[in-house]
C-alpha cells in the first residue's frame, strides 16, 4: 500500500520503511515550539522528569506572543519564566519584544521550518508549517516538555483526506476564503485526526501566504495537520528564508485516502464564518445586514504582508466608520517594517485605524481589543467560539482582510466590491 505525504514524513522520522494509519510510532523532531502561555507548563514537566538540558539548542523555539507586551503581572511572570529558561538552556531561538512576531508567522520567516520536517508546538495552530511541506501539529505542554528533553514524540499515524485544487481565485478572494469554504463544507470535525493534504494544478494560483492561512486553520476542521505538495513556489520561499536542507516527500500514486475532495478556486466567493463555530459559513452575498463594533486585522492566520496590502487596498482614501474600532496587527517586526516602507501604515492611520506591535492579544480575548457584552467584531483570526474575544455575549465573525477592511468602512459586514 502506498503512503501519503504525511505518512512518508513520519515513516522517515521513525526510521521505518513504511507506516499505516492508526500505527503508533516514535518520531524524531526537527523543532519544538512554545509560547508564553504553554512554555511555563512545559518547563515544569521538563524539570519533573529530571531533564538537565534540551536535546538540541538550535531545535527549540520559544516565542512569547500571546499576552505580550506584558499585559499584567501574571503575564510578566510567565515571560520571565520563559526568558530565564531560554538563557539557562542556551536556547538559540528565543524571540521576545523587539525581535518577536506571532509565532506561526515568525517561524517560517526565520527559516526554522522547511519541507520534510516533523514539528510539534504547544499551540494548536502549529499546523501552519504544513504550507511548506512539513508535518507540523499542535501538542500539549507535557509533550512539549518531553520533546525538549528527548527530541522525540509519540504519534498515531493519521489517515488522510486529499484535496485536489483546480482553477484560480476571483477578485477579492484569498486563502482565508478557501479554508472557510472548506470548513463550511466538511464541518469542524470533518477531518478529525486526519491529515488534510492539498495538491493539484490549482496550487500554482495560491501564494505562500494563502497556503499558510489554509494550513493554519486545518485544526478548525479537526485535522491532525494540513500539508501542501511542494512546488517551485515552496522551494523559492525556503531558499529565500532558510539555509537548512529540506526534503520533499511526494504522495505515492496508490496512496489511500479516506476521501478525495475537489476544490475549484474559481467558484469560491468571499466567505464569512458566523458565530459561534467556524463551520457556520455564508458567502458575502448571503450575510445580510450585520452591524459591527470592531474590526481586527492580523493574527497568525492573516497578519502577513499580503494581508496588510489587501486591507490597505480597500482602506486607501477611505475612513473607518465612526461606530467602529479598527485594530491592525502586523504579524512580525519585519512585516511591520515592510508595511511602514510601503506606506501601508500611513494608509491605516489616515483611515482612522490603530496599528499595534505584533501580538496574539485580541485573537484570544487576551488584551488590546477585548469585546464587551453585545458587541460584534469582524476578525481575520481563526476562531469564533463563545467568549473567544471577550465577553460571552459578544460575537466574532471570521473573514478575510479585504472583507474586514470593507466592513470597517461601512460599519457592517460588507464586500470589498462595495467600497473599493
CA-based nearest residue to 30, from 151, 153, 154: 151
Do residues 153 and 120 make contact, with C-beta atoms less than 8 angstroms apart? Answer: yes
Burial pattern 49-70, b for ≥16 Cβ within 10 A else e, equals eebeebbeeebbbbbbbbbbbb
CA–CA gap between residue 54 and residue 32 (Å, rounded): 10
Q: What is the reported pLDDT for 419?
A: 87
Q: What pLDDT does residue 133 have?
A: 98
Q: Split the chain (420 residues) into runs of 10 and give each run's mean pLDDT.
A: 95 97 98 96 96 97 93 94 96 91 96 98 97 98 97 98 98 97 97 97 97 98 98 97 96 96 98 97 96 97 97 98 97 97 98 95 89 98 94 97 98 92
Provide the pairing of β-strand 259-264 with 271-273.
unpaired
Q: How many residues does the chain have?
A: 420
pLDDT of residue 154: 97
Backbone angles phi, psi at 152, to 5 degrees: -140, 160
Euclidean distance between the first and final Cα of the chain, in Å? 51
Asked whether 194 and 225 are in contact (CB, 8 A), the reply is no
Q: Which CATH class is domain 274-414?
A: alpha beta
Q: What residue ranges do the domains of the chain occupy?
A: 5-264, 274-414
The reported pLDDT for the residue numbered 420 is 73
Q: What is the pLDDT of residue 365?
A: 86
5-264 and 274-414 share one fold: yes
> Residue 224: what pLDDT?
98
Q: Which CATH superfamily is domain 5-264 in?
A: Aconitase, domain 3 (3.30.499.10)
Decide: 188 and 279 in contact? Cβ < 8 Å: yes
Amino acid at each position: 500500500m502506498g503512503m501519503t505525504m504525511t505518512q512518508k514524513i513520519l515513516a522517515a522520522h521513525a526510521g521505518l520503511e513504511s507506516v499505516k494509519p492508526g500505527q503508533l510510532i516514535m518520531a524524531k523532531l526537527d523543532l519544538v515550539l512554545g509560547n508564553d502561555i504553554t512554555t511555563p507548563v512545559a518547563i515544569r514537566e521538563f524539570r519533573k522528569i529530571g531533564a538537565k538540558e534540551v536535546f538540541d539548542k538550535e531545535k527549540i523555539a520559544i516565542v512569547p506572543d500571546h499576552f505580550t507586551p506584558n499585559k499584567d503581572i501574571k503575564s510578566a511572570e510567565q515571560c520571565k519564566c520563559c526568558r530565564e529558561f531560554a538563557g539557562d538552556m542556551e536556547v538559540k531561538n528565543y524571540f521576545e519584544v523587539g525581535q518577536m512576531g506571532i509565532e506561526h508567522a515568525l517561524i517560517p520567516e526565520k527559516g526554522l521550518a522547511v519541507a520534510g520536517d516533523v514539528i510539534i508546538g504547544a499551540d494548536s495552530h502549529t499546523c501552519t508549517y504544513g504550507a511548506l511541506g512539513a508535518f507540523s501539529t499542535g501538542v500539549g505542554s507535557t509533550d512539549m516538555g518531553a520533546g525538549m528533553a528527548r527530541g522525540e514524540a509519540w504519534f498515531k499515524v493519521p489517515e488522510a483526506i486529499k484535496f485536489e485544487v483546480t482553477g484560480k481565485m476571483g477578485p477579492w478572494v484569498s486563502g482565508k476564503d478557501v479554508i472557510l469554504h472548506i470548513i463550511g463544507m466538511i464541518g469542524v470535525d470533518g477531518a478529525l485526526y486526519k491529515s488534510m493534504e492539498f495538491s493539484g494544478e490549482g496550487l500554482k494560483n495560491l501564494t505562500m501566504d494563502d497556503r499558510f492561512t489554509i494550513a493554519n486553520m486545518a485544526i478548525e476542521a479537526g485535522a491532525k495537520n494540513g500539508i501542501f505538495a511542494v512546488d517551485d513556489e515552496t522551494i523559492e520561499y525556503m531558499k529565500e528564508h532558510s539555509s537548512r536542507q529540506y526534503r520533499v516527500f511526494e504522495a505515492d500514486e496508490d496512496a489511500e485516502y479516506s476521501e478525495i475532495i475537489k476544490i475549484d478556486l474559481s467558484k469560491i466567493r468571499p466567505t464569512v464564518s458566523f458565530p459561534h463555530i467556524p463551520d457556520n459559513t455564508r458567502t458575502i452575498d448571503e450575510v445580510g445586514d450585520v452591524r459591527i463594533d470592531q474590526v481586527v486585522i492580523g493574527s497568525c492566520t492573516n497578519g502577513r504582508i499580503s494581508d496588510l496590502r489587501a486591507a490597505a487596498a480597500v482602506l486607501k482614501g477611505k475612513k473607518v466608520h465612526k461606530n467602529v474600532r479598527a485594530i491592525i496587527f502586523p504579524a512580525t517586526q519585519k512585516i511591520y517594517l515592510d508595511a511602514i516602507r510601503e506606506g501601508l501604515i500611513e494608509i491605516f492611520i489616515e483611515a482612522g485605524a490603530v496599528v499595534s506591535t505584533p501580538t496574539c492579544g485580541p485573537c484570544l480575548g487576551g488584551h488590546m481589543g477585548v469585546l464587551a457584552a453585545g458587541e460584534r467584531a469582524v476578525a481575520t483570526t481563526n476562531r469564533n467560539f463563545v467568549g473567544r474575544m471577550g465577553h460571552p455575549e459578544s460575537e466574532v465573525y471570521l473573514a478575510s482582510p479585504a472583507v474586514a477592511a470593507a466592513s470597517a468602512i461601512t460599519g457592517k459586514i460588507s464586500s470589498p466590491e462595495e467600497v473599493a
